[in-house]
Amino acid sequence: MPKIIKNGQVVDDNWQVWRDAETLPSTDHVIVPLALWQQQRDALLALGEIAVYLASDESPKSLSDDDLSALSFVAVDFPKFMDGRGFSYARELREQRQYQGEIRAVGDFIRDQLFYMKRCGFSSYALPSDELEAALASLNDFSESYQPGVDQPLPLFRRRQA
Amino acid sequence: MYAYDQYDRQIISQRVAQYRDQTERYLAGKITEEQFLPLRLQNGLYVQRLAPMLRIAVPYGTLNSQQLRKLAFITREYDKGYAHISTRQNVQLNWPKLEEVPDILEHLAEVEMHSIQTSGNCIRNVTADQFSGVAADEVEDARPWCEIIRQWSTFHPEFAFLPRKFKIAVCGSEQDRAAVLVHDIGLQIVKDESGNTAFKVIVGGGLGRTPVIGSVIHEALPPRHLLSYLEAIVRVYNQLGRRDNKFKARIKILVRAMGADAFKAKVEEEWAFIKDGNLDLPDEEIARAQSFFTRPDYEALENEDLQALALENVDFARWLNHNVHAHKQRGYAIATLSLKTTGVAPGDITAEQFEAVADLAEEFGFGEIRSTHQQNLVLPDIQQRQLFALWQKLVSLELASPTVGTMNDIICCPGGDFCSLANAKSIPIAEAIQRRFDDLDYLYDLGDIELNISGCMNACGHHHIGNIGILGVDKKGQEFYQVSLGGQQGLNASLGKILGPSFAQDEIPDVVEKILNCYLEKRHPEERFIDTYERIGLAPFKERVYA
């Protein structure tokens, strides 16, 4: 079974990314495009557990609160690892929408981005790498940060002790 | 200046470990070339024409003697014994080895230095007026605000993969020496009616291939909102900035496409979520930042009359007139150390000079040094009565070229001699101009003229805002130079207009001479080059040059 990083560990995972926006998948445990979700919401939910991925030009504003509670989780797709829009989307889901569920990174990204992703609110990573155990170290490249983030809402200047 | 505490030290040392691991994985073939690119760039490491180039951050241009000595050590141990001051106040090494960069970072960390975010598509090292804290025309010291911004932007988790690089500059004086109108964000410190500090926020300025003067989107932002407002701006840019075309990816293109008002509305919409939140700057944090930049222990002195000394020694008089600026403390002065000696690439400095300047800063000042975007160094706190003694030492170090603010104080990028982006060389052009116009009286008679040279469109040499701008272009594989006139920096910033078809390298000194002759003939008494240009326009210059 494929493996992902979730909540700081390497775990088995049977979710698949379904990139066809026109056709319904035949099983559940699929992460579908936003457009397919918007057109076929009921048919998808009838299959079972469904997640949606946001493409890099699709803001979380396209998902209603109702969508968020019906979905098993939300994924953010990185078409190229240099495309950093997804970092803002994860923060928006956590900090402006108070989304508590899983946020998964899918697509093209690298282990050296994991620390930033964690700070922005991602909780699972379908990292395209066969060295997931080694990659776990990158989640903790730093033990302190200056800015507020999802992992630590207080900026360092509110916590600093002389 | 700012001093690290245990948090800062830990973050910097974890950075060294992180980058060492990344470098090792790259050398072991576990990170691809494409993946390593942004990682090394965000650490200031370029792979250049001849060797890698490492850009070391000098936050808002502030250095101390200990740091200069360490830089001297590093240039000797890991490079060829010299370094370069960039137009963003940073220090560049031209010949480091990629595999030795982690060791260099470790040395830098010992003196609270690093190369974080000096390149790459992230928030770059924040720049400021080089005279912050000492300028006679200062409204408020920019450095505490720069330090607050430095910390907020360092390893910002959301903004490490922006559409393109992002530069912030802060100016706290009446005269703008930080080029705030041509940055992605420029912050101008102002005082409101009751004398409270506020920020004029300017976005979407920039040079490069599409030069734009920025738009004001907030006239007077209260300081406690500084970080939340900056975060809102960059968040909007991160989501809406173009990523399909590298040349259209800077925030200036987005602001222009949306219109400044619509952009502002978007920022305010985003700001509403985070305003008054955790990023709100408490008074205690502002006071903490300011506590690092208190006035040094100045002696109570009277202003000195240096006329007699100046009359006796014309060389000293020239230096005093051009390289010394007014200080806010009575009896003190600001001395600019010129890195524009003819025959040396503009901005280059040797290990020996670094060490000597470190000593001078301790002997004559409080051990502090500034780097400038004009590619010079500054000793900010010199007693006026010691200026002559300082000058004598600077002369023997070849740091006293009395040409600051003249045409020979050329801003110049490293160009085709070093940079792999360049279309043409720029250093030999600077040298040819300095050699042609080596008569100081002639230079002084010309008055304030800024001549800036870039080796390509990326405009590191700020050619658009030079009164005379020279841009290297590629014409069928040959190096040519396009000349523009009428640019200027400061709060009246304007962009130069192209004079006409480009010139071969050896024609440039003649072209510049014709431009100057035209100015000398047409100028009114006491009229600066830029004012004559604005009065008579481009045509008379064009006629003269292409006649």
Per-residue model confidence as pLDDT tens digits over B398-424: 999 999 999 999 999 989 888 888 899
Q: Where does the pLDDT of residue B488 fall: very low under 50, low under 70, confident under 90, or very high at 90 and above?
A: very high
B72 & B189 share domain: no
Per-residue model confidence as pLDDT tens digits over B311-360: 999 999 999 999 999 999 999 999 999 999 998 999 999 999 999 999 99
Q: Where does the pLDDT of residue B477 fall: very low under 50, low under 70, confident under 90, or very high at 90 and above?
A: confident
Average pLDDT over chain B, rounded to an integer? 95
Q: Where does the pLDDT of residue A1 fall: very low under 50, low under 70, confident under 90, or very high at 90 and above?
A: confident
CB atoms B239 and A88 under 8 Å:
yes
Per-residue model confidence as pLDDT tens digits over A15-28: 999 999 999 999 99
How many contacts does A have with B, using Cβ atoms within 8 A?
Answer: 102
> Tell me, what DSSP letter sits at residue A95?
I
B26 & B103 share domain: yes
CB atoms A147 and B152 under 8 Å:
yes
Q: Which of B10, B18, B152 sits opposite A144 (nearest CB)?
A: B10
Q: Identify all chain B residues contacting A157, using CB atoms and an 8 Å cutoff.
A: 151, 281-282, 285, 288
To test the contact with chain B by mutation, choose from A56, A82, A122 the residue with the greatest count of B C-beta atoms within 10 A, namely A82
B139 & B236 share domain: yes
**B260 sits in which H/E element:** helix B260-274
- Among residues B204, B181, B201, B220, the alpha carbon closest in space to that of B259 is found at B204
Kindly give the pairing relationship between strand B91-93 and strand B82-85.
antiparallel
| pLDDT computed for residue A162 by the predictor | 60
CB atoms B157 and A147 under 8 Å:
yes
CB atoms B282 and A158 under 8 Å:
yes
| B295 lies in some domain | no
- Cα B73 from Cα B65, distance rounded (Å): 12
B102 & B224 share domain: no
Q: B345: domain CATH number?
A: 3.90.480.20
Question: Residue B436 — φ and ψ, nearest 5°?
Answer: -65, -40
CB atoms B160 and A153 under 8 Å:
no
**B471 sits in which H/E element:** strand B468-475
Say whether residue B275 is in contact with chain A using an 8 A CB cutoff. Answer: no
| pLDDT computed for residue B476 by the predictor | 85
Query: Which tokens belong to B406?
Result: 């003249």
Say whether residue B15 is in contact with chain A using an 8 A CB cutoff. Answer: yes
Query: Which tokens belong to A123?
Result: 């909780």
Closest residue of chain B to A108, computed from CA coordinates: B35
CB atoms A87 and B10 under 8 Å:
no
Question: Residue B8 — φ and ψ, nearest 5°?
Answer: -60, -45
Query: Which tokens belong to B529?
Result: 């080059």
Q: Identify all chain A residues contacting B158, using CB atoms and an 8 Å cutoff.
A: 84, 87-88, 91, 116, 119-120
B153 & B266 share domain: yes
Amino acid of residue A96 = Q
What's the mean pLDDT in B508-515? Answer: 96
Q: Please name the residues in contact with A135: beta carbons below 8 A apart, sequence gap of 6 or more.
A: A5, A111, A114, A127, A129
CA distance to partner chain B, nearest, from residue A123 (Å) = 15
To test the contact with chain B by mutation, choose from A92, A157, A159, A161 the residue with the greatest count of B C-beta atoms within 10 A, namely A157
Of B290, B316, B332, the domain-final residue: B290
Per-residue model confidence as pLDDT tens digits over B53-108: 999 999 999 999 999 999 999 999 999 999 999 999 999 998 899 999 999 999 99
CB atoms B152 and A158 under 8 Å:
no
CA distance to partner chain B, nearest, from residue A28 (Å) = 31
Domain tally, chain B:
4
Q: A54: domain CATH number?
A: 3.20.20
Per-residue model confidence as pLDDT tens digits over B350-397: 999 999 999 999 999 999 999 999 999 999 999 999 999 999 999 999
Of B238, B255, B290, the domain-final residue: B290
Range of the domain at A48: 3-158
Measuring CA to CA, how many Å separate B293 from each of B62, B284, B297, B343?
11, 15, 12, 37
User: Residue B84's beta-bridge partner residues?
Assistant: B92, B348
To test the contact with chain B by mutation, choose from A88, A95, A132 the residue with the greatest count of B C-beta atoms within 10 A, namely A88
Average pLDDT over chain A, rounded to an integer? 96
CB atoms A81 and B160 under 8 Å:
no
Give per-residue burial for B73-86: e unless 16+ CB within 10 Å, then b.
Answer: ebbbebbeebbbbb
Question: How many CB atoms lie under 10 A from the CB of residue B191?
Answer: 12
% chain B with pLDDT above 90: 89
Residues in B 118-147 with any Cβ partner in A closer than 8 A: 121
Give B19: exposed, middle or buried? Use CB within 10 Å, 0-12, 13-18, 19+. buried
Measuring CA to CA, how many Å separate A42 from each of A18, A67, B190?
17, 11, 57
Say whether residue B295 is in contact with chain A using an 8 A CB cutoff. Answer: no
- Among residues B279, B291, B328, B284, the alpha carbon closest in space to that of B129 is found at B328
CB atoms B14 and A149 under 8 Å:
no
Measuring CA to CA, how many Å separate B239 from each of A33, A81, A86, A151, B537?
19, 15, 8, 22, 41
B157 & B254 share domain: yes
| pLDDT computed for residue B491 by the predictor | 80
B341 & B380 share domain: yes
CA distance to partner chain A, nearest, from residue B477 (Å) = 32
Closest residue of chain B to A97, computed from CA coordinates: B273
| B1 lies in some domain | no
3-class SS at B74? helix
Domain tally, chain A:
1
Give A149's Cβ-side CA count (13 Å radius): 24
Judge contact between B151 and B126, C-beta under 8 A: no
Measuring CA to CA, how many Å separate B84 from each of A4, A107, A110, B353?
46, 40, 33, 12
CB atoms A142 and B18 under 8 Å:
yes
To test the contact with chain A by mutation, choose from B12, B149, B151, B161 the residue with the greatest count of A C-beta atoms within 10 A, namely B161
B316 & B276 share domain: no
User: Residue A6's beta-bridge partner residues?
Assistant: A9, A124
B273 & B149 share domain: yes
Question: Residue A141 — φ and ψ, nearest 5°?
Answer: -60, -35
Judge contact between A88 and A118, C-beta under 8 A: no
- Among residues B494, B472, B486, B466, the alpha carbon closest in space to that of B534 is found at B486
| pLDDT computed for residue B297 by the predictor | 94
Of B237, B261, B290, the domain-final residue: B290
Range of the domain at B433: 411-546
User: Residue B332's beta-bridge partner residues?
Assistant: B383
Kindly give the pairing relationship between strand A73-78 and strand A102-107.
parallel
Q: B199: domain CATH number?
A: 3.30.413.10
Reported ipTM: 0.97
Torsion on CA atoms A83, A84, A85, A89, rounded to nearest 10: 140
B214 & B254 share domain: yes
Per-residue model confidence as pLDDT tens digits over B271-289: 999 999 999 999 999 999 9
B216 & B283 share domain: yes
B274 & B166 share domain: yes
Instruction: Calculate ∠ Cα B318-B321-B323, nearest 5°.
Output: 90
Per-residue model confidence as pLDDT tens digits over A30-42: 999 999 999 999 9
Closest residue of chain A to B287, computed from CA coordinates: A157
CB atoms B14 and A142 under 8 Å:
yes
What's the mean pLDDT in A76-92? Answer: 98
Question: How many CB atoms lie under 10 A from the CB of residue B354?
Answer: 28
CB atoms B278 and A110 under 8 Å:
no
Per-residue model confidence as pLDDT tens digits over B166-191: 999 999 998 888 889 999 999 999 99
- Cα B400 from Cα A23, distance rounded (Å): 74
| pLDDT computed for residue B419 by the predictor | 86
Q: Identify all chain A residues contacting B121, using CB atoms and an 8 Å cutoff.
A: 82, 84
